[in-house]
C-alpha cells in the first residue's frame, strides 16, 4: 500500500470544462522512478476517457511493482523472497480493488459529461442520475439544479426575444439594425414589405444596398454616424430599383455597460407625408385665398353686425317703455336706459340680479308679486298687459302694464324672457280721476235731480196757490167792480183775465219743461248703473213687432218699409227696444217733404259683433249739424217735431253698454243711414 500512496492533486486539462481528481503513485522502490513518472504524466495528458486512464495507471503500477520485485528477487533471501511475494500478491489485490473502484467512480462522471454534452446542444430535459452521496453525488445534484435554472433562464430569454420579435413585426415603420461595419443585422417585416426583399436577401448585406451613404473616402464609421442626425431624409432603394423617400430616425444601440453595438434605424415612408404635404400646400394656398376673401367678408359682416347691433342698441335706448331681458333663471340680462331712468338704478346694480329686485317686497301688496306669476312668466310664451307694480331704488311704486314673451333659439330652447313694461302712473292717475269724476257725475245727477226738483215743487205749488188766489180775487173783484172807476175796472179786468194767467201759464209750462229735462238727466244717469239682462233675440220678429207700434204713422205717411235679413242677437231686450224705437221714430218723423218715405232695415253678423243698419230717404242732416246728433239736449235741423234732443244720446249710451258703436252717414236732402253694432253686454260704465 505504501507504494500506492497519493503524491498530490493534479488539475485535469480543461477539455471537459469540469473538475476531477486523480491519484497515482510512483513506487519508492522503482528502479526507474523517473521513467514511471514520465509515463504516468504522459498518460494523464493523453486524450482519452478517465476510466481508461485509471486502468492504464493501475497496470503501470502493477508493471512497476513486478519489475521492482523481479529486479530485487535475485539477491534476496528466501524469507525476503516470501515477503516480496506476499507484497506482490497484495499489490495484485490492490490492483483489482483499484479497478473496481475506478469503474464505480467513473460511471457518474461519464453520465455528467454526457448530460453536459446534451445541454450544450440545447437539450435541458436530461437529468443526471444521482448514484452516491459523496462529492460526486453532490456535484450531480448541483449540476441538475444548474440545468433547471439554466432552462428557466433560457425560457425567459426566449420569451423576451419572441416579445421583441412581435414588437418588431407589428411595427408599421420599417426598422433595420446595422452594425458598425454597415452590415444589416436585423430587419422587420415592414422593411421587407417596403423594399420587396426576402429576409435572407438582406440580412448580413451592407446597408448601402438600401440607401446611399455619404461619399466614399470618408471613414465608414463617420458616414454611419451621419445616420444619427435626426430626421435625416433619404431615399430607400427597393428591390425593383424604385426610390422611396423616407425620414430616417437613427439611434445608437448600446449594451448594458454602454458599449456601442450598432445603429437602429427607423424609417418613415415619406410618400404619404409628401402627398399630404402637397395637399396641405394646395389647401394652404386655397385657404390663403379664402382667408383673403373671408377677411373681407368678416370685415363686412362685422360692420353689418355692428351696424345692426348699434341699431338694436339705439332702438333699445330710445324705447319709451321699459325693456328688461331675463335669463332663464330669472336674473336680469339686459335693461334699457329708460328702465334705469324709471327705477333710478345704475346698470351694474341690476345686471345679473334677480328680477324680484325691481318689484315691491312681497306681503304688503300681494297682488304685485307672487311666485305663481313668475312660473307663468317662464312657461307662457306670451303675456299681455298685466297690471304690475315696479319699485324704484328709493322705494317709490310705479304702476306698469307688463307684457312678456319667451325668447327661444331655433331649436325651441328658452334663452330668456323679454319683458316690456309701460309706466301707467299718469294713465292710472287719469283713470282714477276719471272714475272719481264718473262717480261724481253719478252723484251729481242724483243731487241735481233732487235739488232742482225741490224748487220745482215750490214753483209748481205756489203758482198753483196763486191760481187759487187769483180765482178768489176774481170773485172778489167781480163784486167790487161796479164800484170802481172805469179805468180802474178795465185795468183790473185786464190784469186778472190776461196778464196774471199769462204769467202763471209761462211759469207752469217752464216748470213742466224743466221737470221733464230733470227726469231725462236722471234716466240717462241711471243707464250706466242699470243691470242689463242679455237674452237671445230673434231680431226679425222683434223689428216687425216694433213696426206695429208705428203702424199708424207708417200707413198715414205712406212709408215703404223694407226689412232685409236680420241675424239673431244677444242683447238686453228693453235696451234694444229703445235703440230701434228711437232710430225708427227719427226716420219716420223727419221725412223729406214732397217725397214718399222709404226705410230699409238690415243686419249682418260680423267677426265678433253684429251690425245693424237703418236707412231712410228723409231730409238728412246738414254737415254742420253732424256733431250735435249724439249730444244731450241738442237737436239738429228745424225743430218741426216736438222733442228734447235726448233720444240719440240715450241710444248711444245703450249701444255702448252693449260693447258696440253707433255712427251714421247722411246727406242733407238725400237721407240718413244709422249703423250700430252689438257685441255683448258690459257690466256698467265702470
* Minimum CB distance to other proteins smaller for 383 or for 500: 500
* Minimum CB distance to other proteins smaller for 294 or for 457: 457
Is residue 535 at the binding interface for other proteins, with CB under 8 A as the rule?
no
* Minimum CB distance to other proteins smaller for 526 or for 605: 526
- DSSP string for 473-504: HHHHHHHHGGGS-HHHHHHHHHIIIIIHHHHH
Q: How near is the Cβ of 447 to other proteins at its closest, in Å?
A: 8
Q: How near is the Cβ of 442 to other proteins at its closest, in Å?
A: 12
* Minimum CB distance to other proteins smaller for 261 or for 447: 447
* Minimum CB distance to other proteins smaller for 397 or for 467: 467
Q: How far is Cα 323 from Cα 520, in angstroms, rounded to an integer?
A: 50
Count of residues making up the chain: 686
Is residue 450 at the binding interface for other proteins, with CB under 8 A as the rule?
yes
Is residue 38 at the binding interface for other proteins, with CB under 8 A as the rule?
no
Q: How far is Cα 321 from Cα 334, in angstroms, rounded to an integer?
A: 14
* Minimum CB distance to other proteins smaller for 203 or for 522: 522
The contacts found for 594-600 with CB under 8 angstroms, 24 or more apart, are: 596/558, 596/559, 596/560, 597/557, 597/558, 597/559, 597/560, 598/559, 598/560, 598/561, 598/562, 599/559, 599/560, 599/561, 599/562, 600/561, 600/562, 600/564
22-30, 460-468, 479-487, 631-639 -> range binding other proteins (CB under 8 A): 460-468
170-178, 402-410, 452-460, 555-563 -> range binding other proteins (CB under 8 A): 452-460
Q: How near is the Cβ of 406 to other proteins at its closest, in Å?
A: 50
Q: How near is the Cβ of 576 to other proteins at its closest, in Å?
A: 25
Query: Pick from 456, 470, 484, 611: which binds other proteins (CB under 8 A)?
Result: 456
Is residue 530 at the binding interface for other proteins, with CB under 8 A as the rule?
no
> Tell me, what DSSP letter sits at residue 329?
T
* Minimum CB distance to other proteins smaller for 336 or for 463: 463
Is residue 568 at the binding interface for other proteins, with CB under 8 A as the rule?
no
Q: Partners of 416 in the beta sheet?
A: 407
Cα–Cα distance list, 294 to 298, 299, 304, 658, 679 (Å): 6, 8, 15, 65, 61
Per-residue string for binding with other proteins, 488-517, x by CB under 8 A?
---------------------------x--
20-28, 52-60, 301-309, 454-462 -> range binding other proteins (CB under 8 A): 454-462
3-state secondary structure labels for all residues of 220-282: HHHHHHHHHCCCEEEEEECCCCCEEEEEEEEEEEECCCCCEEEEEEEEEEHHHHHHHHHHHHH
> Tell me, what DSSP letter sits at residue 356?
G
C-alpha closest to that of 666 among 596, 631, 614 = 614
* Minimum CB distance to other proteins smaller for 451 or for 478: 451
* Minimum CB distance to other proteins smaller for 336 or for 449: 449
> Tell me, what DSSP letter sits at residue 183?
B
Q: How near is the Cβ of 444 to other proteins at its closest, in Å?
A: 13
C-alpha closest to that of 105 among 123, 132, 87 = 132
Q: How far is Cα 682 from Cα 686, in angstroms, rounded to an integer?
A: 9
* Letter string b/e over residues 6-37, b meaning 16 or more CB atoms within 10 A of that residue's CB: eeeeeebeeeeeeebebebbbbebbeeeeebe
Query: Pick from 240, 272, 411, 454: which binds other proteins (CB under 8 A)?
Result: 454
Is residue 52 at the binding interface for other proteins, with CB under 8 A as the rule?
no
* Letter string b/e over residues 274-307, b meaning 16 or more CB atoms within 10 A of that residue's CB: eeeeeeeeeeeeeeeeeeeeeeeeeeeeeeeeee
62-70, 168-176, 463-471, 560-568 -> range binding other proteins (CB under 8 A): 463-471
Q: How near is the Cβ of 453 to other proteins at its closest, in Å?
A: 5
Q: How far is Cα 69 from Cα 75, in angstroms, rounded to an integer?
A: 11
Is residue 523 at the binding interface for other proteins, with CB under 8 A as the rule?
no
Q: How near is the Cβ of 474 to other proteins at its closest, in Å?
A: 20
Query: Pick from 405, 425, 446, 589: which binds other proteins (CB under 8 A)?
Result: 446
Is residue 13 at the binding interface for other proteins, with CB under 8 A as the rule?
no
C-alpha closest to that of 140 among 122, 102, 114 = 114
Q: How far is Cα 403 from Cα 422, in angstroms, rounded to an integer?
A: 9
Is residue 19 at the binding interface for other proteins, with CB under 8 A as the rule?
no
* Minimum CB distance to other proteins smaller for 414 or for 517: 517
Is residue 684 at the binding interface for other proteins, with CB under 8 A as the rule?
no
Is residue 602 at the binding interface for other proteins, with CB under 8 A as the rule?
no
> How many Cα neighbours within 13 Å face the side chain of 151?
13
Q: Are 414 and 408 in contact (CB under 8 A)?
A: yes
* Minimum CB distance to other proteins smaller for 221 or for 450: 450
> How many Cα neighbours within 13 Å face the side chain of 571?
30
Query: Pick from 237, 453, 474, 568: which binds other proteins (CB under 8 A)?
Result: 453
Residue spans of alpha helices (H) in 481-566: 486-494, 500-527, 539-549, 551-556
Q: How near is the Cβ of 451 to other proteins at its closest, in Å?
A: 7
Query: Pick from 464, 471, 564, 627: which binds other proteins (CB under 8 A)?
Result: 464
Query: Pick from 86, 430, 457, 503: which binds other proteins (CB under 8 A)?
Result: 457
Q: How near is the Cβ of 473 to other proteins at its closest, in Å?
A: 17
Q: How near is the Cβ of 641 to other proteins at its closest, in Å?
A: 25
* Minimum CB distance to other proteins smaller for 440 or for 478: 440
Q: Are 619 and 592 in contact (CB under 8 A)?
A: yes
Give the interface size with other proteins as a residue count (CB under 8 A): 17
Q: Residue 172 contacts by C-beta under 8 Å, 6 or more apart in sequence?
A: 190
264-272, 461-469, 486-494, 609-617 -> range binding other proteins (CB under 8 A): 461-469
103-111, 182-190, 257-265, 443-451 -> range binding other proteins (CB under 8 A): 443-451
Q: Where do contacts with other proteins occur on this chain (CB under 8 A)?
A: 446, 449-451, 453-458, 460-465, 515
Amino acid at each position: 500500500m505504501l507504494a500506492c500512496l497519493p503524491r498530490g492533486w493534479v488539475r485535469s486539462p480543461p477539455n471537459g470544462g469540469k473538475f476531477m481528481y486523480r491519484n497515482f503513485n510512483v513506487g519508492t522502490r522503482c528502479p526507474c522512478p523517473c521513467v514511471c513518472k514520465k509515463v504516468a504524466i504522459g498518460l494523464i495528458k493523453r486524450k482519452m476517457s478517465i476510466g481508461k486512464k485509471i486502468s492504464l495507471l493501475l497496470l503501470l503500477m502493477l508493471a512497476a511493482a513486478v519489475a521492482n520485485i523481479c529486479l530485487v528477487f535475485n539477491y534476496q533471501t528466501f524469507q525476503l523472497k516470501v515477503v516480496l511475494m506476499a507484497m506482490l500478491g497484495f499489490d495484485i489485490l490492490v490492483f483489482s480493488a483499484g479497478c473496481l473502484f475506478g469503474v464505480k467512480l467513473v460511471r457518474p462522471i461519464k453520465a455528467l459529461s454526457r448530460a453536459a454534452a446534451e445541454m450544450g446542444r440545447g437539450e435541458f430535459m436530461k437529468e443526471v442520475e444521482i448514484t452516491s452521496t459523496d462529492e460526486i453525488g453532490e456535484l450531480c445534484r448541483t449540476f441538475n439544479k444548474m440545468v433547471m435554472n439554466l432552462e428557466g433562464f433560457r425560457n425567459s430569454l426566449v420569451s423576451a426575444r419572441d416579445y421583441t420579435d412581435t414588437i418588431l413585426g407589428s411595427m408599421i415603420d420599417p426598422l433595420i439594425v446595422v452594425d458598425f461595419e454597415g452590415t444589416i443585422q436585423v430587419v422587420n417585416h415592414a422593411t421587407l414589405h417596403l423594399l420587396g426583399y426576402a429576409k435572407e436577401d438582406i440580412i448580413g448585406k451592407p446597408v448601402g444596398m438600401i440607401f446611399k451613404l455619404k461619399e466614399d473616402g470618408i471613414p465608414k464609421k463617420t458616414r454611419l454616424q451621419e445616420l444619427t442626425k435626426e430626421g435625416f431624409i433619404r431615399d430607400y432603394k427597393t428591390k425593383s430599383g424604385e426610390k422611396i423617400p423616407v425620414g430616417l430616425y437613427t439611434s445608437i444601440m448600446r449594451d448594458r455597460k454602454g458599449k456601442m453595438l450598432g445603429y437602429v434605424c427607423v424609417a418613415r415612408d415619406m410618400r404619404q407625408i409628401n402627398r399630404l404635404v402637397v395637399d396641405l400646400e394646395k389647401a394652404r394656398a386655397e385657404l390663403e385665398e379664402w382667408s383673403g376673401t373671408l377677411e373681407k367678408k368678416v370685415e363686412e359682416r362685422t360692420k353689418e353686425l355692428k351696424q345692426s347691433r348699434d341699431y338694436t342698441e339705439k332702438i333699445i335706448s330710445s324705447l319709451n317703455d321699459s325693456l328688461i331681458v331675463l335669463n332663464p333663471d330669472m336674473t336680469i340680462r339686459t335693461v334699457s336706459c329708460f328702465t334705469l331712468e324709471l327705477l333710478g338704478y345704475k346698470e351694474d346694480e341690476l345686471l345679473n340680479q334677480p328680477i324680484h329686485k325691481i318689484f315691491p317686497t312681497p306681503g304688503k301688496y300681494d297682488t304685485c308679486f307672487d311666485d305663481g306669476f313668475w312660473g307663468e312668466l317662464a312657461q307662457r310664451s306670451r303675456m299681455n298687459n298685466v297690471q304690475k307694480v315696479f319699485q324704484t331704488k328709493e322705494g317709490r311704486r310705479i304702476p306698469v302694464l307688463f307684457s312678456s314673451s319667451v325668447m327661444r333659439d331655433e331649436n325651441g330652447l328658452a334663452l330668456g324672457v323679454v319683458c316690456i313694461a309701460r309706466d301707467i302712473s299718469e294713465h292710472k292717475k287719469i283713470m282714477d280721476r276719471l272714475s272719481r269724476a264718473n262717480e261724481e257725475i253719478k252723484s251729481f245727477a242724483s243731487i241735481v235731480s233732487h235739488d232742482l226738483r225741490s224748487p220745482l215743487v215750490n214753483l209748481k205749488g205756489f203758482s198753483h196757490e196763486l191760481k187759487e188766489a187769483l180765482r178768489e180775487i176774481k170773485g172778489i173783484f167781480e163784486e167790487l167792480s161796479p164800484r170802481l172807476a172805469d179805468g180802474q175796472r178795465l185795468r183790473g179786468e185786464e190784469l186778472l183775465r190776461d196778464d196774471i194767467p199769462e204769467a202763471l201759464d209761462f211759469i207752469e209750462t217752464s216748470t213742466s219743461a224743466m221737470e221733464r229735462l230733470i227726469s231725462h238727466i236722471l234716466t240717462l244717469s241711471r243707464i250706466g248703473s242699470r243691470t242689463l239682462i242679455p237674452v237671445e233675440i230673434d231680431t226679425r220678429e222683434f223689428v216687425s213687432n216694433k213696426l206695429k207700434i208705428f203702424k199708424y204713422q207708417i200707413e198715414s205717411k205712406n212709408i215703404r218699409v223694407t226689412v232685409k235679413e236680420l241675424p239673431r242677437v244677444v242683447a238686453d231686450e228693453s235696451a234694444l227696444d229703445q235703440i230701434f224705437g228711437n232710430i225708427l221714430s227719427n226716420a219716420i218723423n223727419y221725412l223729406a217733404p214732397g217725397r214718399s218715405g222709404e226705410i230699409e232695415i238690415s243686419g249682418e253678423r260680423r267677426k265678433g259683433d253684429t251690425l245693424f243698419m237703418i236707412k231712410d230717404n228723409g231730409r238728412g242732416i246738414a254737415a254742420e249739424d253732424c256733431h250735435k246728433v249724439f249730444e244731450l239736449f241738442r237737436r239738429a235741423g228745424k225743430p218741426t217735431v216736438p222733442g228734447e234732443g235726448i233720444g240719440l244720446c240715450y241710444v248711444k249710451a245703450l249701444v255702448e253698454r252693449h260693447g258696440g258703436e253707433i255712427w251714421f252717414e247722411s246727406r242733407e236732402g238725400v237721407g240718413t243711414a244709422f249703423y250700430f253694432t252689438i257685441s255683448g253686454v258690459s257690466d256698467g260704465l265702470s
